[in-house]
Amino acid sequence: MSEYVHADARGASVGLVERREFVLEQGLEVACGLRLAPVSVAYETYGTLNRDGTNAILVLHALTGDSHAAGYYAGEDAKPGWWDIMIGPGKPLDTDRYFVICSNVLGGCMGSTGPASIDPQTGKPFGSDFPVLTIGDMVRVQRRLLDHLGVDRLLCAVGGSVGGMQVLEWSVRYPDRVFSAIPLATTTKHSAQAIAFNEVARQAIMADPQWNGGHYYEGARPGHGLAVARMIGHITYLSDESMRHKFDRRLQDRCDLSFNFEADFQVESYLRYQGNKFVERFDANSFLYLTKAADYFNLEKEWGNGSLVAAFARARARYLVTSFTSDWLYPTYQSKAMVQAMKKNGLDVSFCEIEAPWGHDAFLLPNERLDTLMGGFLERMERELEKERARKTTAAGANGHAL
């Protein structure tokens, strides 16, 4: 996930927002067998939960995102949330109609429990003693947050990239709690190439002398390693066309080659800037843990004994699956594979490959086609959920009359 932040003039902002905290005092046992307690979850909400509790939408963020999906904070940080183009009055996730929730994932560094949190056993940050997590662990914590908020069933779960993995996990792990799902630019399991890029990025961090085996919080941080890791990741978020359009081989602030190892080219300068900017806001250990969780994600192994069709046999959701033509990190063939498995189970599935030149991060950028798809899908889901509720009410009345 890149540093794209756009305010959208096509709809109103949700305005001032506040990050809140939910604490799961009893914690939970994560997939590796260790117990984390307590567990804190940073989250934000936009809009109002209706009386029937049928208008909740859960937004799942990508790898390095956070709970600040829309609106802006008071004070010095007036930057809009990372999906402000999608969330707010008159936007696809219309907060005049929907109650939108976004939380920072378990293992993150933006308010939720992660490697930088204090280990109650030692009184010091966990560092690399933090347990290795899975996407499933993150979703289990999110479920407890929804219980706390009084949301029994989601109208929709929506997210892109690693957020899309969480959407898929939600729909299969808790099928009765997800009426519909929108996985964007995502996959049911990482390819060898995706794992390879993540491993090179992790090695960049761990090779930094300041990493200190993951216990660096009382001293210098592994800033250089994290910056290089971000540069590697950022390349995968863009496309050849977008890089050619933005930079080509143009030089940076010079008329000729320097014949040294300065940033001669604009693309070099851009990557260095992105890397250094990332170090200011993100924790190196969280990057290690979150990329590992993404690599471990394998829906067909976890829920289908190796069969994607068997995994989606658990699902009940209506799906809108979307890919982007220039996304080479999670290319369209991976979306088509999940759509095929969904259809073999007779699920209600819509699929669209959107023409977009900007690579994997296209789901974060303004796109009228995506706006139309998501807005129309959510309106249809509202109608279908209401019909379902009406049928259940009629059936219950008939059964009561028969008794």
Binding residues for substrate: 230, 361
Residue 360 bears catalytic tag:
yes
> In 128-265, which residue ranges form alpha helices assigned H by DSSP?
135-149, 162-173, 192-206, 223-237, 240-246
Find the catalytic residue in 161, 180, 242, 326. Answer: 161
The whole-angstrom separation of Cα 377 and Cα 350 is 9
Q: Which two tokens stand for residue 115?
A: 């490697």
Q: Quick one: DSSP state of residue 79?
A: P
Find the catalytic residue in 8, 94, 137, 327. Answer: 327
Residue 128 bears catalytic tag:
no
State the binding site: 230, 361
Q: Where are the beta strands (DSSP E) in 325-372?
A: 349-354
**Cis status, amide bond into 357, omega within 30 of 0:** no
Residue 228, classed as helix, strand or coil, is helix
Q: Which two tokens stand for residue 75?
A: 């004070």
How far is CA 361 from each of CA 5, 151, 193, 296, 316, rounded to the nearest angstrom? 12, 30, 17, 22, 28
Q: Tell me which residue of 133, 151, 159, 171 sits closest to 294, measured CA to CA.
A: 133
Q: Quick one: DSSP state of residue 348?
A: -
Find the catalytic residue in 61, 68, 234, 360. Answer: 360
Residue 327 bears catalytic tag:
yes
The whole-angstrom separation of Cα 237 and Cα 204 is 18
Q: 336 with 306: CB under 8 angstroms? A: no
Tell me which residues are annotated as active site: 161, 327, 360
